Chain A
Amino acid sequence: GQQLNQSPQSMFIQEGEDVSMNCTSSSIFNTWLWYKQDPGEGPVLLIALYKAGELTSNGRLTAQFGITRKDSFLNISASIPSDVGIYFCAGPKTNAGGTSYGKLTFGQGTILTVHP
């Protein structure tokens, strides 16, 4: 089945630093999603990517859809303490025609800690 591998597993950074994390897959995804999860809460969508090569920003967050469609990257610039949390990549299961079933496969997450 589809599996997503995220790296690094955890990051400890100083406030103000930039952060980069990535997600790779053994199979092709037609959509990449990046979520943030705070302790005791559900995942919240940060950025959605729909085209290979696409680069999308949301405030200090920038994500890219790899041209091979087997990877994606998330960058956070000028980190702040509220960026602390777990970041997940996810992608939908699709049929042969690329239509999404809506069922998501998640990576194992990157834990981000920001020191003030």
Chain B
Amino acid sequence: DTGVSQDPRHKITKRGQNVTFRCDPISEHNRLYWYRQTLGQGPEFLTYFQNEAQLEKSRLLSDRFSAERPKGSFSTLEIQRTEQGDSAMYLCASSLGPQLYGYTFGSGTRLTVV
């Protein structure tokens, strides 16, 4: 069990560019969650997948954001036409079903939009 892996750990991009983040969940976990955390706040839910199906999206997830989990394993989160307000830590978590036991977060991707 290598935990939840996120790549890259840090990303600096210019406003207007597209960025993509990857999350590799714990291998036997079928649920995968994306959260966003801004400075001084707790993580806020963005979206989650059960296997390859995206089951819920927060209203925080604007049209510029898209997430995929094509084979029910790793997931990608893409932000198009980045804005300075997108600067945040993007956290991925995984779990086995809705069980809270084993619900594990990755170390996150820190995005800075300049």
CB-based A-B contact count at 8 angstroms? 64
Of all chain A residues, the one with the shortest Cβ separation from B50 is A102
A residues in contact with B106, CB < 8 Å: 42
Q: Which of B41, B42, B108 contacts A90 (CB 8 A)?
A: B42
> CB within 8 A of B110: which of A40, A100, A102, A106?
A40
Q: Of all chain A residues, which has the CB nearest B4?
A: A42
B: number of interface residues (CB 8 Å) = 28
Give complex CA distance A103, B97 in Å: 11
* Cβ-defined partner of B98 (8 Å) among A42, A43, A45, A99: A99
Q: Measured between alpha carbons, how far is A31 from B100 in the docked complex, in Å?
A: 9
Taking the nearest CB of chain B, how far is it from the CB of A21, in angstroms? 13
How close is B48's CB to chain A, nearest CB, in angstroms?
6
A77 to B88, CA, bound (A): 33
Closest to A88 in B: B42
Give a binary string over A80-116; 1 marks a CB under 8 Å from any B CB, 0 the rest.
Answer: 0000000010101000000111111111110000000
Chosen A-B contacts, 26 in total, with CB atoms closer than 8 Å, are A4-B42, A31-B100, A40-B107, A41-B107, A42-B91, A42-B106, A42-B108, A43-B43, A43-B105, A44-B105, A90-B42, A92-B98, A100-B98, A100-B99, A101-B56, A102-B98, A102-B99, A102-B103, A103-B33, A103-B45, A104-B33, A104-B103, A105-B45, A106-B44, A108-B42, A109-B41
